[in-house]
Chain A
């Protein structure tokens, strides 16, 4: 049944083509940025610094992948930034610098992420609350709960074992120099995401985002598919929190603004807000492109304060482009 729906339109993951959801534009932007970086700071492209750049970018790429599942199904998840912060603060307090608590806490964080995603998903699909209200509510709940629980300042500490994922690397690797653990985590999870999108689930997810009514009539349980998308987003946030907490240590702003970063990355990667178009690879490349753009801005001495401005402009532009295309497409019908 679901394959039938998927077959109605060529899947975006198959071939890069110049249309909404295609990979070509993002690959082109990425290539241009790489050339600009190479001109300004050739050292940046040397294996060691490139590897550490990829390692540092791993959390936002994972968040973009998580956000992709939700957006392509026609919803939004604004709660991931606060979820990341909550996870880091909870991890620090529970681990309290005791290495033996690392693994239980890692499992707990993954469960915490999944439960937040489940709640987001069920409220959105079963109670029919629009997802940007649901997840905005979740955002505020998590911010408030963390503040209340910690009195406004983080307590405890993360163990070195915990921080290893976000901070350490395999050293002395031939050619590459060093390979950050975060990069390996990213590669494994990115592969899983691609496999998932090529399986029946991925086709169903896109069908649900493209036209939930048709999907419903074809026998797809739309609410279940969307809820799973939210759970995947929550899990991605949990992994990102483990990497980010590892990278920078206990922080009350570990996740501040990450929801925008992820959503910007997703739309930059050619995924249409509103659902149904775009690939998970595009979303992840979008995140990589955004990080590269920020690195380039840094090399040119552009103030970090402009990052949110750039993100806002990208979101507006992407929505405008997709809205124009959609209206022209509707005209054709």
Chain B
């Protein structure tokens, strides 16, 4: 059987050796894709709002891109998130090839730590912004920036919590069909957030630094 025949949905497939868990995944994962795409609309519209808040009028004499963007921190955050998306891939592979709970949990823990590092740096940036008077209430530009970056940070935070929940479930419930299916969906969620970050990193921070 070629790979194309056994591939039921986007994302890493468990494969026929997982029996029902593989076949049941198709419908559930499609549903999860619908959720992800509705989330993409949310992000996209907050992004569009941000794009309308780039004029000098929206900056309103407050701190602009030159004052609020710390590119070094953004580079570090990008590195952490990109590494975490790869380590989640390794967790998925450990699940697909049945390396055992320990190995899956280990890669998930690494993923959560990298994600936590990302959120910590982002919070540090936000605290710095607040301290120089770049609070969200200062201008339309800053409201939009805090909303967009904060929305993504919130998603990553929720993702970290769910990685923790899944590590607990792996040990409490074992690798049941349901646990495997949940892990597949969490993987999609995590990889999706990295795509959103590519947009934010380029559209908000790199473009902002270049325009400053």
Q: Indicate whether A and B interact.
A: no
